[in-house]
Every structure is written in structure tokens, then in C-alpha cells.
Amino acid sequence: KRIVVLISGSGSNLQALIDACGTGHIAGEVVGVVSNIADAFGLTRAENAGVANQVLSHREFSSRDAYDQQLIQCIDEYTPDLVVLAGFMRILTPEFVQHYQGKLLNIHPSLLPKYQGLNTHQRAIDAGDETHGVSVHFVTEELDGGPVILQAKVPVFAEDTASDLAERVHEQEHRIYPLVVNWFCQDRLTMSENCAILDNEPL
Ligand code: GRF
């Protein structure tokens, strides 16, 4: 299967996906990486792995619609089977989401439906949560609201800072994102009527 990954930053999840394709843990290949940020380190990761990559800066577009239309064109040149959001820090238009319906995945650093949006680690600490985590979900028009496929939990310790917690969550991200992407690549995972389905069972 052909995978396109969208990033805005460090790209450690991108790296986990590239590595898992390399070792055969994902039955697919990352064929392209697109970043909206020119100096995202993930672009260097793509380059080092010999993966085609490009920058499409939102700053050069007058509207979200115009940007997303161009983004669709960029992505579709890679003829992907799956589009993976890996720290892509933009809200997507309904047109974009519909275009990739059922083949667009995101990873969000909280136990959804808790803490949609930003600053999830600090919010978990401030709420006094004893458990925090990460969710992989299909993307729908509802921000961070699409059907959850897989979650991993981590403990929150009394002395944790947001960055301690982020680091603990990241380890789990790098474990579960390749797993889910592989399920998709093996044709075991689909979305139907706003529900994620694995091996014919609703999740
Ligand atoms: C991760 O925490 C992910 O859950 C969130 O953005 C971050 C991306 O990290 N959506 P990286 O760029 O993959 O290191």
C-alpha cells in the first residue's frame, strides 16, 4: 500500500512509520511526505530515508479552502491508498476530509474523547488525571472526533511536567501508530457509518 504522511514538526511518528515499513512491520511504503512548515525536522527524516518530500506553506494561500485544494493535488500525485496525519498542525476543510474519507488517519495525544484540541498533556496534569494516553482515529469532519481505532494508556506521576508526560506518550505513539497503519495496509481496517471496523468487528 502507498502511504502519504503529513507533518508540521519533528516527525518522530513519521520516523516510526518509515522504520516499520523498512522492517516489514507495515505492509506498505511511505511514498511521500508533505509539510506545511519549511523547517520541519520531519523533512530531514524523509530525506535521510530517501522518501519524496515537499513543503506546501499555508502562508502562500489566501484561504483555508485554497490551501486544502492545493494540498489535495500534492497528495494525489503520490496516488496514496492511505493518508496519515502525524503532527500536522492544521484544521482540515470538510472538502479535504471527504476527499479522503475512510483513508485518513490521525494520532491525538489524549484518551479521546477527553482533551480534544491542544495542550493535552498539561490539561491532563491540571485535571489531576492518574492516567493519560494517546488515540489513533479515523478523521471525520468533527475535529479530533472521528471513530477511535486504538488507544494506549500511560500513568501520570505526581511530579510530572507536561514534557515528561509528552515523552511517555510519544513512546506509545511510536508503538501503536505503526500497528494501526499495518492493519489498514492489510485490508483489515475500514470505516463504515462513523464506526471503525477491524476484522469485520466494530471497535
Ligand atoms: C504527537 O504528539 C501527535 O500525537 C500529535 O502531534 C505530535 C507529533 O509528534 N498529533 P512528532 O512530530 O511525530 O514527533
Checking if the pLDDT of 191 tops 90, the result is: yes
Checking if the pLDDT of 123 tops 90, the result is: yes
2-13 mean pLDDT: 98
- Quick one: pLDDT at residue 67? 98
162-182 mean pLDDT: 98
Ligand 1 close to Cβ of residue 11 (< 6 A)? yes
Question: Cell numbers 505513539 label which residue?
Answer: 173
As a whole-number percent, the residues of the chain with pLDDT over 90 amount to 99
pTM: 0.97
- Band (pLDDT 50/70/90 cuts) for residue 42 is very high
Checking if the pLDDT of 73 tops 90, the result is: yes
For ligand 1, atom 2, the nearest C-alpha belongs to 109
- Quick one: pLDDT at residue 157? 98
Lowest mean pLDDT among 8-12, 61-65, 141-145, 156-160: 141-145
Numbered residues of the known binding site for (6R)-10-formyltetrahydrofolate: 64, 89-92, 106
149-165 mean pLDDT: 98
Q: Please, what's the b/e burial string for 155-172 (b: 16 or more CB within 10 A of its CB; e: otherwise)?
A: ebeeebeeeebbebbbeb
Checking if the pLDDT of 124 tops 90, the result is: yes
Checking if the pLDDT of 176 tops 90, the result is: yes
Checking if the pLDDT of 112 tops 90, the result is: yes
Walk me through the domains of the chain, giving residue ranges and CATH numbers: 2-106+133-151+172-202 (3.40.50.170)
- Quick one: pLDDT at residue 143? 87
Element (H, E) at 143: none
Return d(Cα 193, Cα 196) in angstroms, integer.
8
Closest CA to 35 of 74, 69, 2: 74
Ligand 1 close to Cβ of residue 182 (< 6 A)? no
Mean pLDDT for the chain? 98
For residue 188, what is the DSSP state? -
Among 99, 108, 121, 174, the one annotated catalytic: 108
- ipTM for the predicted complex comes to 0.97
Using one digit for the tens of pLDDT, what is the confidence trace for 23-32? 999 999 999 9
Numbered residues of the known binding site: 11-13, 64, 89-92, 106
For ligand 1, atom 8, the nearest C-alpha belongs to 87
Ligand 1 close to Cβ of residue 6 (< 6 A)? no
